[in-house]
Copies of this chain bind each other. A is one copy, B any other.
Amino acid sequence: MSTNAKIVFDDLVKIRQQKPLIHNITNYVVMNNTANALLSLGASPVMAHAVEEVADMVKIASALAVNIGTLSKHWIEGMKIAMRAAADRGIPIVFDPVGVGATPYRNETCEELLSLVKPTIIRGNPSEIMALVKLNSASTRGVDSTESSDAALESALKLARYHNCVVSVSGEIDLIVEGEKVVRVANGDAMMPLVTGLGCTATCITAAFAAVNDSPFIAAINAMVIMGLAGEIAAEEALGPGSLQVDFIDSLYTMEREQIEMRIKVLD
């Protein structure tokens, strides 16, 4: 068994106690929400992207989250320096290939970043994970429509082998893959995709769990469990995506062991 309520909660307690500094180079749309999610989880967020300082910021961080959502030239330069510095220090790198497949620029950026430094965990939605695999097999570049879990699973396994990393695919049922191992997390709520940036939030929460657990595989699973639980608890009271976002942050903050024990749905 990969994880259970006790392991998830113990790691959550570690985050709350150690308050790991998570260095985020992420997109403009979600920065506020990801910072608030990390704070409510118990971690300490920092956002910094300038080439002049990212390496220094990585030096004091416990994990690095890189997200290409609103990419541009100078930001990509910052991502490269930060990823190299994080690899040198051996801290976890979580990479989120937002919108890869939508434009050649995103494809090229992903190729460049992934050829430079192997991330510890790649986290994306099914379309993004499938688009990343296509880059490696030199097939058509385009935008993938929403894809089935089965298609995403095959891609996730390929991607995990190719980059020798953990791959975490969010969806109605999340898939977390390492080598040949596949774990499914069935927590969450159907309204979650209507809140912008919850995927990006999953990425930074994954970084926080990776900062306190030596197994990136377990960390990625635990993060998706907490994401899903916070989302489904929030959805019970939320009237729509606006209040879901607010309640989600509150739920991260108030998450108790009993809630995890009663609700966790991890399928090994």
Which A positions have Cβ atoms within 8 angstroms of B?
27-33, 35-36, 39-40, 45-50, 52-53, 56-57, 60, 69-74, 99, 102-106, 143, 193-197, 238-243, 245-254
Contacts and interface: CB of A to CB of B under 8 A. Distances in A.
Nearest to A39: B194
Contacts of A49: 70, 72
A193 B102 CA distance: 35
Contacts of A60: 102, 143
A5 to B, nearest CB: 21
A240 B249 CA distance: 7
B194 A253 contact: yes
Contact of A47 (B27, B39, B238): B27
B240 A250 contact: yes
Given A28-B31, A32-B33, A197-B32, A50 B105 contact: yes
Contact of A40 (B29, B103, B240): B240
A52 B73 contact: yes
Contact of A35 (B36, B48, B104, B196): B196
A193 B253 CA distance: 13
Contact of A104 (B56, B99, B249): B56
Given A47-B27, A49-B72, A56 B254 contact: no
Contacts of A247: 239, 242-243
B47 A106 contact: no
